[in-house]
């Protein structure tokens, strides 16, 4: 193995920090890595404790030295990935009255520009309304939060974060004069919503612990800049978001955690009106609202609809008073829906494959008639491309498979005519027929059938000789789509098999699939992942000890727990911003995500069963003396989701207990947060490093 650090690994000092709960006493020797002033660090990284900074910088220097032999490979992969991106890629113009709005890149752009053109012009010209690269100039980090034009097309509101902490500053641009003004808003959660009066702007504000907790609004023409509160959430377990209803008649405020939601509405034409709760929150009941033809359609899990159903109801009613419209069907998960003046569109998934279903809502002989848009491949991704117009027969949707580049279609819901409006181009060349895509099922240790998506070169031999990158997530109901990712070709073309394990904790096989991978059933997620790895070896796609585990955030928890369970299965582990200090994080009520995520993991502060469960699988707390595979662990200093000290503590403890010689490498981005490097090219550098590490672990470097 080329990864042989010349300098000794950083020796993190140990400071005994003992805790006791439910009669159990345990010690966390690396708790000192958590800066007590972490909230200030999110806003200004320069105030980080000097000892912590020195340790993180020593870790970064060690990792840079260790990975130096992979520089040429990393650079080559980066150039390959860059060569697969369209230098001047253009998004699909989305019509909104007299204009169509879109995003595109100029040659060399990292962030691109937002533009519009006159839909009536015979030769429409691009009118740039926001130059993101110009906004990002001179900033170490730049992440655009939202770009939102007023209904009369006179104003543009936009937000960006230049720290990685997800605190967005908000600006206004006069689209006639081009003049930009700062609003003074600097703790926005990102989304910006205009009221119908073309002067009132709504946003969500974060509290001191980084939680989105309040909806504010202001009249942009008010010289005093007075800020008003539309809604403020008092329960720290609920996050707040703001949006517009499908027909733009309402400003919608959602208070929600992972299992419960509550929606408040304000007439968009009278934005100063106090919000009205549509239906008060009930634990375990989720719902969203979609208006069509004077009726409110409700996508909900109410009434025991595990995979959701569509109901009708009125403001002020309880879920028990709603009426079923499209009944629940077990195994058919309704993922989302959109309403139009004459149509209802729902995106649903069954047996891990999505489809779009169009329902005619126009009065007449075809009222209520449905048809589905399905695709023929074994595995694919499908999604609605939301537009601005409500009174339209046009639907935009996207399609891709692991071997086939993405395509955007304009679909006439009335005539059922499908027109290709954009095809993803791979400038360096790509032939889908050179690859094989398979959807297989493997049997988990408890007999459950786990779907797996596989991408490989067409000529790959299924004889156990192939290394494999096994990707997984398995939390929050998030499902990893079988989409086209050009970056993966740098692995697959070198002989690696790429596999996605659609494990419990996601919703590949319905909402129950999610329920079977959370709380007291969480270990199913880790077992499924390990079982998929072993099954791929048994089937000849790879062999044990030739699998590189890859997961990020909660997927980092996954690969950390899997590595503790079966270290011999893996040739290497890539854990990006990994959520691995589960017990401590879920016990820290100051952190942004802790109270809202108790429904996902359990509350170890008050619930002894939850405490013992988290303690039993938390990767950090279950590190023991063993021969761990090589690990590349990443984090971001200003990450509000998985704080930097989680990966830092885990790396130190893994290195302390490592009985073998494989390196434990930590790389903390000192200028970014959860998403890593910003910019479409700079972000590739991190991926190139991860893939170079994976290929080295697999013996393909």
* Band of residue 6 on the pLDDT scale cut at 50, 70, 90: confident
Taking 80 as the threshold, does the pLDDT of residue 376 lie above it?
no
**pLDDT tens per residue across span 307-361:** 999 999 999 999 999 999 999 999 999 999 999 999 999 999 987 789 999 999 9
Res 350: pLDDT: 86
165 is catalytic: no
Cα–Cα distance, 139 to 160 (Å, whole number): 11
Q: Is the torsion defined by CA of 474, 475, 478, 484 positive or negative?
A: negative
Q: What is the mean pLDDT of residues 105-116?
A: 97
**pLDDT tens per residue across span 553-595:** 999 999 999 999 999 999 999 999 999 999 999 999 999 999 9
The structure tokens listed for 392 are 């339209």
Give the single-character DSSP code of 168. B
Taking 90 as the threshold, does the pLDDT of residue 145 lie above it?
yes
Cα–Cα distance, 221 to 229 (Å, whole number): 17
* Band of residue 701 on the pLDDT scale cut at 50, 70, 90: confident
Which is more confident, 565 or 375?
565
Q: Which residue has the tokens 């072993």?
A: 534
Cα–Cα distance, 471 to 362 (Å, whole number): 44
Q: 158: which residues sit within 8 A by CB, 6+ positions away?
A: 130, 144, 145, 146, 147, 148, 170, 171, 173, 192
Q: What is the mean pLDDT of residues 674-690?
A: 92
Closest Cα partner for 628 from 667, 587, 573, 679?
A: 573
**pLDDT tens per residue across span 64-86:** 999 999 999 999 999 999 999 99
**pLDDT tens per residue across span 39-59:** 999 999 999 999 999 999 999
CA atoms within 13 A on the CB side of 249: 13
Res 190: pLDDT: 78
Taking 80 as the threshold, does the pLDDT of residue 87 lie above it?
yes
Taking 90 as the threshold, does the pLDDT of residue 375 lie above it?
no
Q: Which residue has the tokens 């109410």?
A: 302
What percent of the chain is modeled with pLDDT above 90? Answer: 93
* Band of residue 7 on the pLDDT scale cut at 50, 70, 90: confident
Catalytic residue among 553, 618, 678, 701: 553
Res 351: pLDDT: 77
Res 240: pLDDT: 97
Catalytic residue among 165, 245, 639, 701: 639
Note whether 298 and 287 are within 8 A (CB): yes
Res 674: pLDDT: 83
* Band of residue 262 on the pLDDT scale cut at 50, 70, 90: very high
Res 379: pLDDT: 85
Res 414: pLDDT: 95
490 is catalytic: no
Res 374: pLDDT: 76
Angle, CA 401 vertex, CA 693 and CA 425 arms, to 5°: 80
**pLDDT tens per residue across span 263-304:** 999 999 999 999 999 999 999 999 999 999 999 999 999 999
Q: 647: which residues sit within 8 A by CB, 6+ positions away?
A: 556, 575, 577, 578, 580, 633, 634, 635, 666, 668
671 is catalytic: no
| Cα-to-chain-centroid distance, residue 388 | 23
Catalytic residue among 307, 581, 674, 701: 674
| Mean pLDDT estimate for the chain | 96
Taking 90 as the threshold, does the pLDDT of residue 675 lie above it?
no
* Band of residue 386 on the pLDDT scale cut at 50, 70, 90: confident
Cα–Cα distance, 508 to 529 (Å, whole number): 14
Taking 80 as the threshold, does the pLDDT of residue 411 lie above it?
yes
Cα–Cα distance, 313 to 333 (Å, whole number): 21
């Amino acid at each position: 193995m080329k990864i042989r650090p010349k300098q000794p690994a950083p020796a993190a000092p140990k400071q005994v920090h003992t805790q006791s709960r439910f009669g159990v006493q345990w010690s966390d020797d690396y708790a000192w890595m958590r800066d007590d002033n972490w909230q200030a660090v999110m806003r200004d990284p320069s105030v980080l404790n000097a000892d912590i900074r020195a340790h993180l910088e020593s870790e970064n220097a060690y990792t840079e030295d260790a990975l130096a032999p992979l520089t040429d490979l990393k650079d080559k992969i980066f150039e390959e990935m860059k060569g697969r991106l369209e230098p001047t890629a253009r998004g699909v113009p989305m019509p909104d009255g007299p204009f169509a709005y879109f995003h595109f890149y100029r040659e060399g752009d990292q962030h691109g520009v937002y533009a519009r053109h006159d839909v009536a012009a015979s030769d429409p010209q691009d009118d740039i309304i926001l130059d993101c690269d110009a906004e990002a100039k001179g900033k170490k980090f730049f992440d655009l939060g939202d770009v939102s034009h007023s209904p009369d097309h006179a104003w543009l509101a936009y937000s960006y974060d230049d720290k990685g902490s997800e605190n967005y500053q908000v600006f206004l641009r006069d689209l006639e004069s081009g003049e930009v003004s700062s609003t003074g808003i600097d703790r926005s959660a990102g989304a910006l919503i205009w009221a119908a009066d073309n002067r009132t702007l709504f946003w969500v504000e974060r509290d001191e612990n980084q939680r989105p907790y309040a909806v504010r609004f202001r009249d942009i023409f008010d010289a005093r800049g007075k800020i008003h509160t539309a809604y403020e959430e008092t329960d720290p377990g609920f996050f707040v978001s703001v949006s517009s209803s499908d027909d733009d008649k309402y400003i919608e405020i959602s208070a929600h955690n992972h299992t419960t939601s509550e929606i408040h509405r304000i007439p968009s034409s009278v934005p100063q009106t106090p919000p009205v709760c549509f239906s008060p929150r009930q634990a375990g009941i989720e719902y969203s609202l979609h208006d069509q033809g004077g009726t409110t359609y409700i996508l909900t899990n109410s009434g025991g609809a595990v995979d959701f159903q569509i109901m009708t109801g009125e403001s002020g009613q309880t879920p028990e008073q709603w009426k079923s419209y499209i009944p629940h069907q077990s195994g058919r998960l309704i993922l989302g829906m959109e309403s139009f003046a004459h149509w209802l569109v729902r995106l649903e998934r069954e047996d891990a494959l999505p489809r779009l279903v169009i329902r005619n809502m126009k009065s007449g002989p075809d009222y209520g008639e449905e048809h589905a848009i399905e695709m023929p491949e074994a595995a694919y991704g499908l999604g609605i491309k939301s537009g601005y117009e409500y009174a339209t027969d046009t639907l935009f949707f996207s399609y891709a498979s692991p071997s086939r580049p993405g395509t955007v279609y304009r679909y006439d819901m009335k005539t059922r005519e499908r027109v290709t409006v954009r095809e993803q181009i791979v400038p360096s060349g790509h032939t889908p027929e050179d690859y094989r895509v398979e959807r297989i099922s493997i049997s988990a240790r408890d007999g459950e059938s786990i779907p797996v998506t596989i991408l490989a070169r067409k000529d790959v031999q299924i004889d156990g000789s192939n290394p494999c990158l096994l990707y997984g997530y398995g939390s929050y109901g998030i499902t990893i789509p079988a989409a086209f990712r050009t970056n993966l070709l740098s692995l697959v073309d070198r002989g690696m098999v790429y596999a996605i394990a659609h494990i419990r904790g996601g919703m590949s096989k319905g909402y129950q699939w999610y329920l079977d991978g959370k709380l007291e059933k969480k270990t199913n997620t880790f077992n499924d992942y390990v079982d998929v790895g072993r099954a791929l070896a048994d089937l000849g796609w790879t062999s044990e000890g030739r699998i590189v585990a890859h997961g990020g955030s909660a997927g980092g928890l996954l690969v950390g727990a899997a590595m503790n369970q079966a270290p011999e299965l893996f040739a290497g582990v890539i854990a990006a911003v990994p959520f691995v200090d589960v017990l401590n994080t879920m016990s820290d009520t100051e952190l942004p995500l802790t109270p809202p995520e108790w429904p996902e993991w359990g509350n170890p502060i008050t619930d002894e069963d939850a405490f013992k469960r988290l303690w039993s699988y938390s990767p950090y707390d279950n590190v023991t003396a063993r021969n761990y595979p090589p690990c590349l662990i990443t984090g971001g200093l200003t990450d509000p989701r998985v704080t930097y000290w989680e990966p830092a503590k885990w790396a130190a403890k893994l290195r302390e207990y490592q009985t073998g010689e494989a390196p434990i490498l930590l790389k903390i981005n000192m200028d970014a947060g959860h998403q890593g490097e910003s910019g479409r090219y700079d972000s590739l550098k991190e991926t190139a490093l991860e893939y170079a590490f994976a290929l080295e672990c697999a013996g393909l470097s």
